[in-house]
Amino acid sequence: MGFIDTKNFSHQKKDKIGVLITNLGTPKAATTKAVRVYLTEFLSDPRIVEIPRLLWLLILHGFILRVRPKRSAKAYKSVWNERGSPLMFHTQDQCTALSDELRKQWGDQIQVEFAMRYGEPSISSALQKLADDGIIKLLVLPLYPQYASSTVGSTFDALSKDYTQRRWLPQLRFIAGYHDSQPYIQALAQSIKAYWDAHGKADKLILSYHGLPQKTLEEGDPYFCQCHATTRHLVKLLGISEGEYLTTFQSRVGRAEWLKPYTDQTMMSLPQQGIKSVQVICPGFPADCLETIEEIAIENRDYFLENGGERYEYIPALNSSEDHIKALVTLVNENIKGWSLPSESDYIERQAAYNDKK
């Protein structure tokens, strides 16, 4: 088996530190065809659906991929804008802003790229670009504050699979989560406080996280506990009491039991409990996407208002806000601490040694 080489390799090329941020992914277009391609890759990942492989593939190709792409394409169309997919352009913006801030400290010794676990730009293509540009030390930051096997674990799978095929591997560090990172919690708190300053408070603050099957908690996934830890840290900074907030879980699929309470059922029931106004934020989503814009800002708003609610407001994700980028810069600097690069004399000696061998 041949290995993937570094293109245009030169001993004179200066080494760099690389930072790769990753997110889930998005279809190339809000069309049934593009969504089908995306869902095929996404739903074929064994970490996404943990049922016997052959049975799942029969269900996936025999039913789901025949029905779901059309319905999902309609949802994507509702959030697509002139820049395309929100998740894509927000992640691009985050990459650009993070790169700009890190270069103020590190100059051209550091390079930031982004990739999607599913779809483009792929993790493999980003790793190739980083390798070709002389990256010898790499920090990978999946943009999932709370660890889950289906997100962070799957990202590591893709990274590991790629590196089994490469000749030269960089020194590697991998951030498996940052649910209790103080700068991130502070950025969330500042976002909420700024929203309150502009719009006032609602009866209750809802902190909605992406859902997972209940069995993942029972089998040892720390996601549920880390979501609640994020909530605890956040509400402490906000200075609000237990009755003023609620943690819920969204995006459940199928008939199996998922992490509770469910966001949609909560929205339907709150008005009957006398809660007529709510504000919702999604602390597990650093960038707005289909699940925050269509599901939370639109679909769950309808559930709340149709059942007697009077005021429903979605507080946007941090996206590329100044506080968020500062939090990510801090996270990166904490995790590349101790890394150094060769000096100018090191490069001269290295080139001389190479010339002597010629």
Examine the fold and report which residue of 43, 61, 84 is the final residue of a domain before the chain moves on: 84
Strand spans (E) along the chain: 16-25, 110-118, 135-142, 171-174, 204-210, 245-250, 277-281, 311-314
Is residue 105 in some structural domain?
Answer: no
Which strand ranges, in their side-by-side order, compose the sheet holding 311-314?
245-250, 204-210, 277-281, 311-314
Tens digits of residue pLDDT in 286-344: 999 999 999 999 999 999 999 999 999 999 999 999 999 999 999 999 999 999 877 76
In this prediction, residue 8 carries a pLDDT of 74
Cα 233 to Cα 185: distance, rounded to the nearest angstrom = 7
Tens digits of residue pLDDT in 229-266: 999 999 999 999 999 999 999 999 988 999 999 999 99
Examine the fold and report which residue of 84, 112, 130 is the final residue of a domain before the chain moves on: 84
Is residue 89 in some structural domain?
Answer: no
User: Looking at the structure, do residues 186 and 309 belong to the same domain, yes or no?
Assistant: yes
User: Looking at the structure, do residues 76 and 196 belong to the same domain, yes or no?
Assistant: no
pTM here?
0.95
Is residue 250 in some structural domain?
Answer: yes
340 by Cβ neighbours in 10 Å (0-12 / 13-18 / 19+) ranks as exposed
Is residue 333 in some structural domain?
Answer: no
Is residue 43 in some structural domain?
Answer: yes
Q: Give the number of domains in the chain.
A: 2
Cα 43 to Cα 59: distance, rounded to the nearest angstrom = 11
Omega of the bond prior to 222 within 30 degrees of 0, cis?
A: no
DSSP letters, 114-139, are EEEEESSSBHHHHHHHHHHTTEEEEE
- Token pair 């483009």 is found at 120
Cα 227 to Cα 327: distance, rounded to the nearest angstrom = 18
Task: Name which of 128, 169, 167 is nearest 1 in CA terms.
Answer: 167
Is residue 170 in some structural domain?
Answer: no
Is residue 259 in some structural domain?
Answer: yes
3-state SS assignment for residue 292: helix
Examine the fold and report which residue of 314, 336, 353 is the final residue of a domain before the chain moves on: 314
Residue 123: CB atoms within 10 Å: 23
- The domain of 252 spans 182-314
Is residue 267 in some structural domain?
Answer: yes
DSSP letters, 136-193, are EEEEEEES-SS--IIIIIHHHHHHHHHHTTBSS--EEEE----TT-HHHHHHHHHHHH
Tokens coding 270: 């709150």
User: At 219, which CATH number?
Assistant: 3.40.50.1400
Per-residue pLDDT of the chain (358 residues), as tens digits, is: 689 888 777 766 778 999 999 999 999 999 999 999 999 999 999 999 999 999 999 999 999 999 999 999 999 999 999 999 999 999 999 999 999 999 999 999 999 999 999 999 999 999 999 999 999 999 999 999 999 999 999 999 999 999 999 998 999 999 999 999 999 999 999 999 999 999 999 999 999 999 999 999 999 999 999 999 999 999 999 999 999 999 999 999 988 999 999 999 999 999 999 999 999 999 999 999 999 999 999 999 999 999 999 999 999 999 999 999 999 999 999 999 999 877 766 666 766 666 766 6
Residue 11 is which amino acid? H
- CA dist 79 to 73, 225, 322, Å? 10, 31, 24
